[in-house]
Amino acid sequence: MKATLTVTSRGMVTLPAKLRQALGLKPDDHLIAETTPEGLLLRPAVTLPVELYTPEREREFDAAEAELADLLKRKGAVAKGAAPSRRKRAGRRAR
**pLDDT value at position 50?**
87
Domain boundaries, the chain: 1-47, 51-82
What is the distance between the alpha carbons of residues 46 and 50, in angstroms, rounded to a whole number?
Answer: 13
DSSP codes joined into one string, 12-60: -B---HHHHHHHT--TT--EEEEEETTEEEEEEPP-----PPPHHHHHH
**End-to-end Cα separation, the chain, in angstroms:** 75
**pLDDT value at position 46?**
84
Architecture of domain 1-47: Ribbon (2.10)
* pLDDT tens-place string over residues 27-86: 999 999 999 999 999 998 987 888 899 999 999 999 999 999 999 988 887 666 655 555
Q: Which helix (H) or strand (E) holds 74?
A: helix 55-80
**pLDDT value at position 47?**
79
Question: Taking the CB of residue 20, how many other CB atoms lie within 10 A of it?
Answer: 15
